[in-house]
Structure 1
Amino acid sequence: MVAKKLGTRTLGKVVKSNSHCDYVVQLDDDMSTSCPPQPGEFGFGSFVKLANGDRPSIVGIIYNSQLVNPTFLNNGPRLSSEPDPVFAPDLIHETRTLLGIVLIGILEADPSQTEIYGVQSIPRDVVPVNAAVECMDDHEIYRFHLNVEGKPQFRYYSLLLRYGGSFAAHLTEQVLQELIDFNLFPPQDQRALEMLCKELTWRNTMGTLR
């Protein structure tokens, strides 16, 4: 496993869902926290976990982002290029970044209660509004790709292709490449992942040329 991300960071909170496994997260900004997340922490294809009370954390992947700017196409008079927080605090507060999250499983505690493992499928629980959303560190990503017996797994391939939005193929390709870089799977499975990734890359390239 290659170490990249250390520790976890709160990204924001759940504000709505488009389906049972497609959620929208509102990113924290400097109006809601003194230390808002940085751009590199919520990029396309990033693994995140959603708080679920006393239940196991739910795992998702960022598949889309959307900027909400109330000043765009505003035909009214403008007194300055930037809204003044003293005279227009609500306007600044309404400028948002929204993230699309596809849910792919949960993080369970193993029988010894000392480690975690992944259950890769559509989660049964409904994530509540305002649930906290955090980055996953490399150890959590690594453990999510091990089952309860400690064997490597990659069972959410079809979920990404079906629910990953208009960028589903590119999202799946990026996740596959990250798993390959982790070097988590045995040689035979590693080669299968590499072949699958090359096939997706070829499809994406040919689709662009057509």
Structure 2
Amino acid sequence: MRLGKVVKSNSHCDYIVQVDDPMAVLHPPEPDDYGFGSFVRLESPERHWAVGIVYNSQLFNPLFLNTGPRLSSEPDPLFTPDLINETRTLLGTVLIGRLEQEAGQICGWQGIPPAVVPVDTPVLTMDADEIHRFHVNAQGQPQFRYYSLLLRYGGNFAAHLAQQVLMDLANSELFSGADRRALEILCKELTWKNTMGAMR
């Protein structure tokens, strides 16, 4: 499902995505489609660019604190111009790797993507199968190598973002056995660190 498009970047792996609204598409995404910690892929018809995680959101409303003139009475419906809704939802997205094809299988490459993602590149949600494939390397082994990227580029909520991603992965049933236990241990350790950090 398409969420929106890239409109700018703050750094090489920190991109701003503008969510599609009813003026742009017939069926815009719902707020639950791009929540905190959601996995997205930046992908045009010609190329897959990167995988990212939503780490922040901003509501842009140009009418807020607008000090322009206001009508003292009800406007005349015959002479009222059409008003365009200029509000926007912007998503901060940290890039954590990309999907690759190895020996006919799709797997994940985790790290800072080397290519610069162009403006207007479509951004789409990732389903459970794509998220699982991103967390498996070419040898079929689970991987979680982007942890440091979340902590460095995840903004003010970096520790909570890493904790949220770990919890979602542990509860998703994408992994089982020792792999799932390892995720649960990492999640508990990070939860403890966040709790103790808040108490200091």
TM-score by length of 2: 0.89
Q: Is the 8 A contact 1:14 1:129 kept in 2?
A: yes
Could you tell me which of 195, 199, 207 is aligned with 2:197? Answer: 207
Deviation of 1:182 after TM superposition, in Å, equals 3.1
Unaligned stretches of 5+ residues in structure 1: 1-8
Is structure 2 residue 2 aligned with structure 1 residue 10? yes
Q: Is the 8 A contact 2:97 2:111 kept in 1?
A: yes
Structure 2 match to 1:5: none
Could you tell me which of 28, 32, 38 is aligned with 1:46? Answer: 38
Give matches, 1:1-210, under 5 Å: 9-52=1-44, 54-79=46-71, 87-90=81-84, 92=85, 94-112=86-104, 115-185=105-175, 187-210=177-200
Separation in structure 1 between the aligned mates of residue 120 and residue 138 of structure 2, nearest angstrom: 30
Q: Is the 8 A contact 2:57 2:90 kept in 1?
A: yes
**One-letter amino acid of the structure 1 residue matched with residue 94 of structure 2:** V
The verdict on how the C-alpha distance between 1:130 and 1:144 changes in structure 2, with shifts beyond 3 A counting, is: same
**One-letter amino acid of the structure 2 residue matched with residue 87 of structure 1:** P
Q: CA RMSD in A?
A: 2.0
Q: Is the 8 A contact 2:42 2:48 kept in 1?
A: no
Secondary structure of the 1:51 match is strand
Instruction: Find the structure with the greater CA-based Rg.
Output: 2
Task: Among all aligned residue pairs of Structure 1 and Structure 2, give the percentage whose two residues are the same amino acid.
Answer: 62
Separation in structure 2 between the aligned mates of residue 72 and residue 168 of structure 1, nearest angstrom: 29
Unaligned stretches of 5+ residues in structure 2: none
Separation in structure 2 between the aligned mates of residue 39 and residue 51 of structure 1, nearest angstrom: 21
Q: Which has the higher strand share?
A: 2
